Amino acid sequence: MTANETKATTNGPLSQMSLNDHEQVVFCNDNTTGLKAIIAIHNTTLGPALGGTRMWSYASEGEALHDVLRLSRGMSYKAAVAGLNLGGGKAVIIGDARKEKTEALMRRFGKFVNSLGGKYITAEDVGISTRDMEQVFMETKHVTGIPEALGGSGDPSPVTAYGVYMGMKASAKERWGNDSLAGKKIVVQGVGHVGSYLVDHLVKEEAKVWINDIYEDRIQAIKTKHASVEVVAGDALYDLDMDIYAPCALGGTLNDESLNRLKCSIICGAANNQLANESVHGEIVMKKGLIYAPDYVVNAGGLINVYSEVAGFGRDYANLQAENIYNTTLRIFELAKSGNIPTYLAANRLAEERIQSIAHIRKSR
Ligand code: NAD
């Protein structure tokens, strides 16, 4: 049996790593604290692999590995398209974040992160709080997104929202030849951290803003601040005539059902993994003639913010980089048109090209 045949017939961790060319995966175990974690480093061509730590009750170790490999690759692409000198990484801790998290477990995890000597930099993700990251920070300096009081860059949401706003203006320019959002009917789904800052920008530009959230207090907070904003409840949102749909809650909202109902010209929002199935729904969006600003391109402000912390730059730098999402989004639309491919694919290709071209420079003397 040749090496390639072995690769094709096994489904172990190394075969899975080779599918998308992951560099390194670290399995972390500690019986005393109960820590079971996986750190995946996808690619460090552009710089250290940065990505959050997620704590989740995975049904199996295989599911955890699949998730960490998928998420770390996504981080490489997001950093590459945003023009940052960062690679892609991610970590998962297997367990129930509400029941199994202890200070000792988080600090033991921090020791594992530290053992990688800065090749992987961690941050908060689902199931992990700022307090947990402070405990990780006790054992390693390779942590980012820590509170401002500890010298970090603090809440990334304002920068993320600004980047989404820039991506939306670029999408308007692509669709209507003019990037003004004044008078455009825009529905923001999810008015949490990012969505609420996005609404501020849109109201300031005199867009006709509609909001949607599952929590009444979130809706009321926005209504108190901006009386002109209207509300659409539940999934009636998908039947509303609108110019722009801005998903800022959960992923997967671009699926068979919603795409049958959506009546908009542009889709641009902060939520991660908006396309339920990237290739299937990316293609449908293109065929329907909708302008889709790829999620990881327009929501890169959060990563830009933590990068500015790692690189020792301030909020002004982060905002300047987030502003550039406007140009990057237009470039992706151009690539998609010239290649007659969906925009998500154009973004992936742009990321791969940047990684390859910089790898070439790194090799040359
Ligand atoms: P958040 O939890 O503060 O806000 C999410 C909001 O969506 C909440 O108000 C919640 O009630 C609402 N929501 C949840 N389910 C909903 C549903 N089915 N319908 C309508 N509303 C619903 O989160 P956030 O930090 O604002 O992030 C929003 C999205 O953007 C997430 O997908 C996140 O992964 C992504 N994102 C955030 C950042 C950041 O800087 N915070 C960066 C990149 C990507």
Domains 3-72+86-154 and 158-300+328-350 agree in fold: yes
Say yes or no: CB of residue 123 within 6 Å of ligand 1. Answer: no
78-82, 84-88, 122-126, range with the lowest pLDDT: 122-126
Catalytically active residues are 90
CATH architecture for the domain at 3-72+86-154: 3-Layer(aba) Sandwich (3.40)
The residue ranges of every structural domain in the chain are 3-72+86-154, 158-300+328-350
Give the Cα-Cα-Cα angle 191, 215, 261 (nearest 5 degrees).
Answer: 70
Fold assignment, 158-300+328-350: Rossmann fold (3.40.50)
Q: Which two tokens stand for residue 42?
A: 């996808």
Per-residue pLDDT, 5? 46
Ligand 1 atom, smallest distance to 157 CA: 40
Contact 119, 48 (CB under 8 A): yes
Dump pLDDT digits (tens) for 88-139. Answer: 999 999 999 999 999 999 999 999 999 999 999 999 888 998 889 999 999 9
Contact 93, 36 (CB under 8 A): yes
Question: pLDDT band at residue 2, thresholds of 50, 70 and 90?
Answer: very low
Q: How far is the CA of 115 from the centre of ligand 1 (A)?
A: 33
Dump pLDDT digits (tens) for 14-69. Answer: 999 999 999 999 999 999 999 999 999 999 999 999 999 999 999 999 999 999 99
CA 173/CA 347 separation, integer angstroms: 18
